[in-house]
Amino acid sequence: MARKLGKYEIIERIGRGGMAEVYRAYNANLDRYEAIKVLHSFLADAPEFKTRFEKEARNIARLKHPHIVQVYDFNFDPDTGSYYMVMELIEGGTLKDRLQELAKNGEVMPLGEALRYIRESADALSYAHKQGMIHRDVKPANLMVDRDGRIVLTDFGIAKIVTGPQFTVTGGMVGTPAYMSPEQGMGEPGDERSDLYSLGVILYELLTGKPPYSADTPLALILKHVNSPIPSACENNPRLPPFVDEVINKLLAKDPAERYQNADELIADLQELEHRSLHQTQPLNDTPVPPSLPPDNLSVVVDDDDSPTIRKSNLIRQQAKQQTKKSTRSRTPLLVLIFLALLVGAAGIYVIGAQSGVFPAFGGVATDTQTPTSTQTPTLTATDTPLPPTATPTTAVPVVVTEPPTSTPSPTLTPEPQATSTNTPTPEVSPTPSVTPNITQTVAFERTATTAACVFDYAVVEQSPEDGDAGGFFTVNSPYTREITLLNTGTCTWEVNTSLTFVEGESFNAGPRIFIREPVEPAEEVTITFEGTLPPRGSLEPISGTWEMRTPGQIRFGDPLVISILVFDPGS
């Protein structure tokens, strides 16, 4: 094609599909590189194509989300007879490229990475669905991964642009059969639950290295999505924890009414799964091999309270409760027998001691007594200090899966979650007395304190210039810089690449994320430099954009931060 497309200089072709070609282009006016998607010219022959294209292009351009590619412009090129859209250039490959790289090395994607990609994609879909936009062709080739590891969903609205009452192309249908929901395969337009079904197919493929269904023809593949049972991801990758199948089965339900009804429901479960995988002491699935430790060696601590960063998940919590109840029932008889034996022994010792004058008789002044325990550990007294998760349930810690400490090889008692915490230690059952009881307690406590009880939060200490009206007026199209000082008010360190991430509204061209390049300890301050360009329009009211703090794993924390600026147009 021509070396110029309107005001854009075409540099090279970087992608090609059945509906469009994508080029790297240079915008001399803004001195930046952009991506241009040029729709094939034959599409313009379809009735009402121009109307659909312009309408959908405007709708797409209104989407402003860190995980959705930003559309800047659209137009028609009379020289080539093609419509095109100008978009944000994502430097990086697609999720499809990443899958091919892993397959070449005989690997599957680690669980934490896969969950983050799907959660970020679901976050993008949640935002778009609330704007009334359905993607209809979610697949790895439409998910870009930039150099910072950010997932970016592309091709929003393309499916609707190229479809029309009289549009056909070689008898095909819009969408990709390998990732198409059953209802789309049967000719229905689909809704937001259809997009979530496609995400379920992608999650299955990320964790097993292959899609759930395969066939020789597109029609046969569609029929498998419609009729075939959902395969188990855990059977294809034995290192996966069983709760992964629970989420995939709900995503891939044949009946849309049995799936997640919106992306926010899915995100809640994914955050729980991410939290579990983050607190495993060993990687879950670097390669699809059997786990090194049997499942019985894992204890589960369940939190029934809402967490600031992890929302409740009925699906995950119910499964954890069932496992906990089963474990508790199996150990209850042993606990009762040991307790009775200790009680009888203590009574006998007391009688002998009372007769010899060592202990006072009944009716004397009350004295502190130690709580009986079947191990040789020193007695625990009731304090407000958090206790090890194997001794008493806690309501302040999110769902965590931990290995037993290596210094205590015997199994530990997993209590059933309670609505309230208690300061009275529960007897701990340990068939083999530990030779280093203090070390055992320390290891268990530190693991809980450092990995399970993290609270991430922040406070804004100062902004210069100040936010909103107090910051004064600034001229349209001018560069803008603001210094934002944040205080780590949480209990854990902010790791490198914690970021202030754009969510919605006006981004002021400051980029999708502003990274913190050094660790920030609790009670420590850090200053972020917010640099951008003011919009070309003025306003009597401050122009605002919403940002939020995120961990390097893209888990949100704290309240959203609204950045408001009074923009003045001297020409108006």
Question: 395, 415, 197, 207: which is closest to 312 by C-alpha?
Answer: 395
Residue whose C-alpha is closest to residue 373's, from 325, 413, 422:
413
Maximum Cα interatomic distance, the chain, rounded to a whole number of Å: 111
DSSP 238: T
Residue owning tokens 């409760």: 321
Q: Are strands 543-550 and 151-153 parallel, antiparallel or unpaired?
A: unpaired
Burial classification of residue 379, based on how many CB atoms lie within 10 Å of its CB (0-12 exposed, 13-18 middle, 19 or more buried)? exposed
- The pairing of beta strand 513-516 with beta strand 498-505: antiparallel
Q: Which of 137, 195, 269, 303 is catalytic?
A: 137
Q: Which residues contact 84 (CB under 8 A, 6 or more apart)?
A: 5, 36, 37, 38, 39, 74, 75, 76, 77
In degrees and rounded to multiples of 5, residue 265 shows phi and psi of: -60, -45
CA distance 103 to 114: 15
Whether residue 549 contacts residue 458, with contact meaning beta carbons closer than 8 Å, is answered with: yes
- 32 φ, ψ to 5°? -150, 160
Burial of 499 (0-12, 13-18, 19+ CB in 10 A): buried
Closest CA to 82 of 28, 168, 22: 22
The H or E element that residue 400 is part of is: strand 400-402
Beta strands in 147-263 (DSSP E): 151-153
In sequence order, what DSSP letters do the residues of 181-194 get, joined into one string?
Answer: -HHHHTT----HHH
Tell me if 90 sits within 8 A of 69, measured CB to CB.
yes
Strands 473-475 and 556-568 turn out to be parallel
Please confirm, yes or no, whether 79 is among the known catalytic residues: no
C-alpha–C-alpha distance, residues 488 and 201, integer Å:
38
Structure tokens at 313: 């998940």
| DSSP H or E segment with residue 384 | none
Q: Residue 4: CA atoms inside 13 Å, Cβ hemisphere, count?
A: 3
Report angle CA 172, 173, 175 to the nearest 5 degrees: 125
Which letter does DSSP use for residue 379 in this model?
P
Q: Are 528 and 519 in contact (CB under 8 A)?
A: no
Q: How far apart are CA 142 and CA 120, in angstroms?
A: 13
Residues that are catalytic: 137
